[in-house]
Amino acid sequence: MIAAASAVIMGALILPVRDMPIDDGLLIDVTFDPSRGYIATHAKLPQPVIALSLTVLRARIGAQLGGAERVHLKLDRAARAQRDEWRCGGAARASNTRPV
């Protein structure tokens, strides 16, 4: 009986949290082209936004949208791979002289 009551109470606490919106931000699709850089597209953007870094891309998108909306970048596989390569240092850090 106590277990059933606690399950009902927990269910009552979880349901309102699940129904709440996560965020009211704008989800922008981003891809990477080696010859141009990161390319962002969305229906609210008048034209694709291009930048060499994700920070600059986010700033340019915010400037085009008036800065009023929260911008979330949805990176595709190519954009994620490029971001991860920059984070790790890419070929510049590759070395076979590290101690084992």
- The predicted-structure confidence for 12-38, as pLDDT tens digits, reads as follows 545 444 444 445 678 999 999 999 999
Residue 65: the pLDDT is: 86
Residue 30: the pLDDT is: 96
Residue 18: the pLDDT is: 45
What is the average per-residue pLDDT within 59-78?
A: 87
pTM confidence score? 0.63
Tell me, letter by letter, the H, E, C secondary structure of the chain.
CHHHHHHHHHHHHHHHHHHCCCCCCEEEEEEEECCCEEEEECCCCCCCEEECCHHHHHHHHHHHCCCCCCEEEEECHHHHHHHHHHHHCHHHHCCCCCCC
Could you give the domains of the chain? 25-90 (3.30.2390)
Residue 67: the pLDDT is: 73
d(CA 45, CA 59): 13
Q: How far is CA 9 from the centre of its chain?
A: 35
Residue 8: the pLDDT is: 52
**pLDDT bucket at 79, cuts 50 / 70 / 90:** very high
